[in-house]
Amino acid sequence: MISRLIRLLNSLLGFIVIMILWQVSVDIFEIRPYLLPSIMSVAQSAWEYRSDIFSHSLVTTVQVIYGFGAAVIGGIIISLLVFVNAPIRRIVMPVVIAIQGIPKVALAPLFVVWFGYGTMSKVLMAFFFAFFPIVISTLGGFAGTPVHLVEHFRALDASTTTTFWRLRVPSALPNFIDGCKMAMPLAVIGVIVGEFVGSEAGLGNLLLLANASARTDLMFASIITITAISGLLYGIIYLFGRLVWWRAL
């Protein structure tokens, strides 16, 4: 228990140092609040608007989860099809790479026009931000299966299907989890970008409202909340990886 607490404190040490330096710098250099509010004023603003921050956080978090979940499902399906079927690979991979090359920010206005200011446009933004890392990482896991293990399965006269599900899929799990780790923060960014362009609720919407009223302290409170949500969801993926991955992360 004590060792876990020490590890937790070590993980938080960097953030604690940043907050101390933040507060001290504002006090020493007398930085104006509208440029950089003190950490204490940010905390006060977060407490003052806690109900608004909480309600907007729920909206953003739900949209991130939906978009990330769709990216995981879509990424797994595309990875499976591309790996096991060469004609599909030649057709699909150029399309996936082309979509990845599109500036995602440019898609946000189109999604708002097509799907409105509601949840769908934000979910799609999260999907497109998170999809590519999952596909590439999972494909790398399939292709990176140790050759000697594949030869061992062949020596045992295992079928291609058995080799794939019993060997390649478990071997690809570490890469898949790493892809999800990379994709989750991107999904959060995608939702926030979508909320910037057009939304009725969410932390991106709250940021715009705080900016319009020149409430820099509330803007920082919203940014910190977004960072906390991203870190929490990343941590959930990390713990999930510890459960399904037999090797230490």
For residue 96, the one-letter residue type is V
Q: What is the pLDDT of residues 53-62, one digit of tens each?
A: 999 999 999 9
pLDDT band, residue 146 (cuts 50/70/90): confident
Q: DSSP of 43-68, one letter per residue?
A: HHHHHHTHHHHHHHHHHHHHHHHHHH
* Nearest partner of 176 among 236, 99, 123, 241, judged by Cα: 241
Q: Enumerate residues 6+ apart whose C-beta is below 8 A from 6.
A: none
pLDDT at residue 71 tops 80: yes
Rounded Cα distance, 47 and 42, in Å: 9
> Which one is predicted more confidently, 26 or 248?
26
**Burial class (CB within 10 angstroms; exposed 0-12, middle 13-18, buried 19+) of 178:** buried
State the pTM of this model. Answer: 0.89
pLDDT bracket for residue 249 (50, 70, 90): very low
Query: Under CATH, domain 49-244 is a member of which superfamily?
Result: MetI-like (1.10.3720.10)
| pLDDT, tens digit (0-9, with 9 covering 90-100), for 86-126 | 888 899 889 888 888 888 888 889 999 999 888 999 999 99
Q: What is the mean pLDDT of residues 174-181?
A: 92
Nearest to 60, CA basis, from 192, 183, 181: 192
In this predicted model, which residue has the larger pLDDT, 187 or 168?
187
DSSP structural state of residue 249: -
Burial class (CB in 10 A: 0-12, 13-18, 19+), 105: middle
Check: CB of residue 172 under 8 Å from CB of residue 142. yes
Domain coordinates of the chain in residue numbers?
49-244
